[in-house]
Structure 1
Amino acid sequence: MRVGITGEAPAVILPQDTSNQNKRLTGISIDIWDELATSLNLDYELIYNDSVTQTLKKLANQEIDIAIGGITVTEKNIRRFDFTQPVHEDKISVLVPLQSPTLWTIIKPFFGWAFLSSIILIGLCLFVVGNLLWLAEHNKNSEQFPKHYLKGVREGVWCALTTFSTVGYGDRYPVTNFGRFVAGSWMLISLVAVTTLTAGIATTLALAFSAQTYRNLQSPSDLKGVRLVTISGSKAVEWGQYYQGRIVEVDSLSEGIRKLESNQVDGVLYSRLALEYYLYQNPQLPYGVVDFDIGTQNYSIALTQDNPLTEKLNEQIVSIDMQLRFQEFKETWFKSQLNN
């Protein structure tokens, strides 16, 4: 049986010595196929191909019987081939250059609506509490809270502010029952508000003074109009088009990285596993994978149409729980790499 294989590391890893590479391929996809083939007593020959497009072309021409590796189920492919149940699922993300923060990126978080709305809300609360304290105190405690509205409310806001900041100078304090009720309630509210605000400011500062930032990509909606390179024939193409990115298709991840290095594109859109592995292998590169995912892609085994082996493979995939086995393969494989 002729089994075509293609994909990016760590799914398919080429030997450094490329002579007789078919017998020396390693990787997670190889482990998956080997387990399935062993369970079905299949004899096979692995035939490596440089790209998904080339592999599927050979499958369409019946030059191979099965295609494994970086094969995703797309609307176009499902019309031409049989596919098994997914052998594993992966997230789609973006590899982008890291940038040193500019002055604007440092101060930008402080102009965000979440931060500004918190400040506005606190200011409004201080004003309201200041007014309530003045209403309660200006008749019986006019020395601390003058009867003149502006002067009295000013002192009320000052009292509310010192209470809120937990400083409490003691130069202004209520003496009436209602005034003490307002002040006491405000103390309890302040405990919660200060904790929440402190956490929010700490997060904002951490973001603002981060040593490196991504290229203005905070969510999938930011991909609109961004030049993205991805692997031809993968599900990532459809996801990139869905978010209106300017998609460039190539045959391999290494080719996509070269386009990123030469500034022909703004990012590489592909499997998070493959992108993170690439960075693991090349830690010196000034790139990073963004913190969000834009979709998922299921990897399956492709076969010629009406292939009787499809049903047998599906039975094995379900019985073995291949999604779980893939996770085990991945963890085992990464541990072995870390120990090398």
Structure 2
Amino acid sequence: MNNRNFLWSWPATWLFLLLISGLGSPALAQTGDGQPASDDMVAAAMPAAERGVRLRVGTKAAPPFVVENERGEFSGVSIVLWEAVADRLGIEYDYVPSDLAGLFSGLEDGALDLSVAALTVTASREANIDFSYPFYSTGLAIAVPANDGSAVWATIRRFFSWQFLTALAALTVVLLAVGVIIWLFERRANAEEFGGSTAQGLGSGFWWAAVTMTTVGYGDKAPKTLGGRLIGLVWMFAAIIIISSFTAAIATSLTVDRLSSGIKGVQDLADARVVTVEGSAAAQALRDRGIAFSVRTELEDGLAALADGRVDAVVYDSPLLNYRVKNAYGDTLTVLESVFDRQDYAFALPQGSDLREPINRAILEYLASDAWRDTLTEYLGSQP
């Protein structure tokens, strides 16, 4: 071989070797959906893949962000996003069902590697764990009873409320008791007005007690015995107190239902019976505003109480509240259009997790895709 051919063959060989090595370089690697993955993203995700680790991903049903079917399979906005991110990074995982508190405590004690649901980013939570880049922004909303009739019918319905009927029954018992006493005193000495059969006498006593209490005093019946007149004197003064108490009770029974229909925004919650989910961002928001509230373990429990008239309003994340009311309480409950206190949803990770940065980049790439917009439309309806 002459020197010229020998020198020519070496550059060609080196060029061939460089091309082969370039085809296998991380810079040209691709993600599961065909999108190019950056060197840093692949490098950051490699440790888990190299060790063959399957991430323990905590989740809980929170439609439409996490929807669980009867077979225990998960879908929804958050699930679609996470599975796209995991596919991009080549991460294997298993879902671990949990309650809301467990999604955060599990990250702190090492039971979970990631939590995926409708998790709101808050300062108090950030102090103990890390969050990914927020993938959805919303706010808190208020569910109230639907206006299912005219104002006239609503007023009539209040007269048949439990509070009104209870007050009416108590007053009837008091009038009957006074009527019996006056009848016992007057039945013989004043038989013309309180005599007759037992039923007639008791009826006359009840009538006298009622007209005396209301200060109408028709004058058709009046006690004549000393005992009867003393009872009448005491009853006239006692009736002033009783009628005032009864009026207050009636006013309460007639206005308690107006609270729900009168709630137009967060400013109307101060005097209402409010309920939310225990440990939620909504509970903290209400607490910060000084609004008294009770809690339920699940959103469904609060909505059931609202539908039954045991509370006046349910406060919770707008998309979750709208989804549940629309699908289960469309005829009885409604969600006000106004929202307050912005809520940002994100994935939750243990503090200092190496996966946070690659997950953030994968999220940002997916949020810019048509697939993400299609997902929002599928689960949340038309998007602005």
Which bin holds the TM-score, normalised by the shorter protein? Answer: 0.5 to 0.7
- The verdict on how the C-alpha distance between 1:293 and 1:329 changes in structure 2, with shifts beyond 3 A counting, is same
Separation (CA, whole Å) in 1 of partners of 2:338 and 2:380: 22
Describe how 1:150-299 pairs up with structure 2 within 5 A. Answer: 215-283=261-329, 285-299=331-345
- Quote the residue 1:32 is aligned against: 81
Unaligned runs of 5+ in 2: 1-54, 155-257
> Aligned in 2, Cα 1:262/1:219: closer, same or farther, shift over 3 Å?
closer
1:239–1:294 CA contact under 8 A, matched in 2: no
SS of alignment partner, residue 246 of structure 1? coil
TM-score (norm 2): 0.53
Alignment counterpart, residue 63 of structure 2, candidates 9, 12, 15:
9
Q: Secondary structure at the match of 1:312?
A: helix
Give the equivalent residue in structure 2 for 1:44. Answer: 93
CA drift at 1:329: 0.9
Is the Cα–Cα contact under 8 Å of residues 230 and 236 in structure 1 kept in the other structure? Answer: yes
Aligned to 1:60: 108
- Bigger Rg, which one: 2
Note the alpha carbon deviations across 1:251-305, whole angstroms, 9 max, x for none.
3211222332344422111122112211232255410001211222111111111
What is the Cα deviation at residue 17 of structure 1?
Answer: 4.2
Structure 1 unaligned blocks of 5 or more: 19-23, 107-211, 336-340
Instruction: Give me the whole-angstrom Cα distance separating, in 1, the residues matched to 2:260 and 2:306.
Output: 14
Q: Which amino acid aligns with 1:300?
A: A
Q: Per the alignment, do residues 75 and 263 of structure 1 end up closer, same or farther by CA in structure 2, a change over 3 Å counting?
A: farther
Cα deviation 1:33-73 (Å, max 9, x = unaligned): 00111111100001112x21122122222111101102111
Question: 1:79: how far off?
Answer: 0.8
Shift of the alpha carbon at 1:324?
7.9
Measure how far apart 1:29 and its partner are: 1.2
Contact 1:74 1:234 in 2 (8 A): no
SS for the counterpart of 1:69 is coil
Matches within 5 A, 1:83-162: 83-100=131-148, 103=151
Cα shift readout 1:127-183 (whole Å, capped 9, x = no counterpart): xxxxxxxxxxxxxxxxxxxxxxxxxxxxxxxxxxxxxxxxxxxxxxxxxxxxxxxxx
Distance 1:11 1:321 in 2: 15
Q: Using structure 1 for the length normalisation, give the TM-score.
A: 0.59
Q: Percent identity?
A: 22
Contact 1:240 1:247 in 2 (8 A): yes
3-state secondary structure, aligned to 1:260: helix
Structure 2 partner of 1:75: 123
User: Within 1, Cα distance between the matches of 2:266 and 2:379?
Assistant: 31
Q: Distance in 2 between matches of 1:245 and 1:104?
A: 31
Q: Kindly tell me the number of residue pairs found equivalent between the two proteins.
A: 225
Does the Cα contact within 8 Å between 1:88 and 1:326 map onto a contact in 2?
no
C-alpha separation between the residues in 2 aligned to 1:215 and 1:62? 46
Letter in 1 for 2:271: G
- RMSD (Å), alpha carbons: 2.9
Q: Find out whether 1:304 has 2:353 as its counterpart.
A: no
Other-structure match for 1:179: none
CA contact (8 A) 1:220 1:243 kept: no
CA distance in 2, matches of 1:291, 1:105: 25
What SS does the corresponding residue of 1:296 show, helix, strand or coil?
Answer: strand
The structure whose RCO (Cα within 8 Å, separation 6+) is larger is 1
- SS of the equivalent of 2:101 reads helix
